[in-house]
């Protein structure tokens, strides 16, 4: 039972840690998304200012499944090398990943007017047509991060914790199955109470003396359990009657004396234990 409690405690701890990690991961993703949106709005503002436009609006940045969209209130012309520089500086200030793909999409036909990709390796960066001006038009600038693993390093830890939790669940079920398959003789050996030369099995309604098994009635078993729990103490007749009979809705006359007599006969083989009558009060299990 102690081992099961330990396993249950470990399991609960793993579930708690996994929950905390998962919630932290979700909050991290939300924080990342908010940071990208702020950075892209800063990009939009810089692009407008580079055209001496301080009045038109940068529209709210939209997050789709895997990308972010930046758009403007009015048409705008874009110089690719200027776009690359502004996005790079804004992302670096915000500490965003250095792996991303940028596309400039025409609003009218959704064709890609310009695109480039950035990595941490300058030699692998793809920035075509840097000096060719994109004419004034309605554009949507989309950014897709291509390597989030470097930003969300916490995710593998979550997978490990969840895996450990599943392994532990399987182990607990296995141990429980083993416990259910323990033969009755082995199970009984851990649930008896010693009284003199006898072993008392309250759940089995029996006494065992050496290799001899002595069956007890339910009432005999209940009375003996009370005596064993209170050795060498006087137990009043009223208490015995109430606990064994009246609590079950049955009121008796001399039944108590009859069952006490039966228990005395069963225990007579051991002189070190004896049920004695305390006149006018009750009974006592004397154990030397």
Mean pLDDT of 195-219: 90
* Beta sheet of 112-118, edge-to-edge order: 62-63, 68-71, 139-145, 100-106, 112-118
What is the average pLDDT across 128-143?
Answer: 85
Across the chain, what does the average pLDDT equal? Answer: 80
| Cα dihedral: 210, 216, 219, 225 (round 10) | 20
Tell me, what's the pLDDT at 243?
Answer: 86
7: pLDDT confidence band, cut at 50, 70 and 90?
low
CA 3 – CA 7 distance, rounded (Å): 6
Q: Which has the closest alpha carbon to 234: 196, 278, 267?
A: 278
Percent residues over pLDDT 90 in the chain? 40
pLDDT tens for 105-135 read 999 999 999 998 887 666 555 566 666 889 9
What is the reported pLDDT for 214? 92
pLDDT recorded at residue 12: 62
Question: Which domains are seen in the chain, by residue range?
Answer: 2-150 (no CATH), 186-287 (1.10.10.10)
Asked if residue 46 has pLDDT above 80, the reply is yes
Q: Provide mean pLDDT across the span 157-174.
A: 69
How deeply is 258 buried, as exposed, middle or buried, from its count of CB atoms within 10 A (0-12, 13-18, 19+)? exposed
Of residues 188 and 244, more confidently modeled? 244
pTM: 0.44
- Mean pLDDT calculated for residue range 254-279: 89
Which residue's entry shows tokens 């228990």?
A: 263
- Residue 107 is predicted with a pLDDT of 93
Q: What is the pLDDT of residues 51-101, one digit of tens each?
A: 888 899 999 999 987 899 999 999 999 998 899 999 999 999 988 888 899
pLDDT higher than threshold 70 for residue 8: no
Kindly give, in sequence order, each residue whose CB lies less than 8 Å from that of residue 263, ignoring residues fewer than 6 positions away. 220, 223, 224, 227, 275
Is the pLDDT confidence value at 204 over 70? yes
């Amino acid at each position: 039972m102690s081992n099961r409690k330990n396993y249950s405690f470990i399991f609960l701890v793993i579930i708690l840690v996994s929950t905390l990690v998962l919630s932290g991961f979700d909050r991290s993703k939300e924080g990342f998304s908010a940071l990208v949106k702020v950075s892209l709005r800063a990009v939009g503002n810089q692009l407008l200012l580079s055209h001496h436009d301080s009045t038109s609006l940068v529209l709210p940045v939209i997050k789709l499944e895997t990308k972010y969209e930046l758009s403007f209130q009015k048409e705008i012309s874009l110089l690719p090398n200027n776009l690359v520089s502004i996005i790079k500086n804004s992302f670096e200030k915000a500490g965003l990943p250095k792996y991303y793909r940028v596309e400039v999409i025409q609003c009218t036909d959704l064709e890609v007017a310009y695109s480039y990709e950035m990595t941490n390796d300058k030699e692998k960066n793809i920035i075509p047509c840097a000096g060719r001006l994109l004419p004034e038009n309605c554009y949507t600038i989309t950014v897709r991060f291509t390597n989030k693993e470097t930003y969300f390093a916490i995710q593998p830890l979550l997978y490990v914790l969840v895996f450990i939790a599943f392994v532990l669940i399987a182990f607990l079920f296995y141990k429980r199955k083993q416990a259910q398959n323990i033969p009755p003789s082995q199970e009984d050996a851990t649930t008896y109470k010693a009284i003199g030369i006898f072993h008392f099995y309250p759940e089995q309604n029996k006494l065992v003396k050496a290799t001899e098994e002595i069956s007890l009635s339910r009432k005999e078993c209940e009375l003996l359990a009370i005596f064993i729990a209170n050795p060498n103490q006087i137990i009043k007749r009223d208490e015995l009657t109430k606990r064994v009979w009246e609590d079950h809705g049955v009121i008796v006359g001399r039944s108590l004396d009859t069952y006490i007599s039966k228990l005395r006969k069963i225990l007579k083989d051991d002189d070190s234990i004896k049920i004695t009558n305390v006149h006018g009060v009750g009974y006592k299990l004397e154990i030397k």
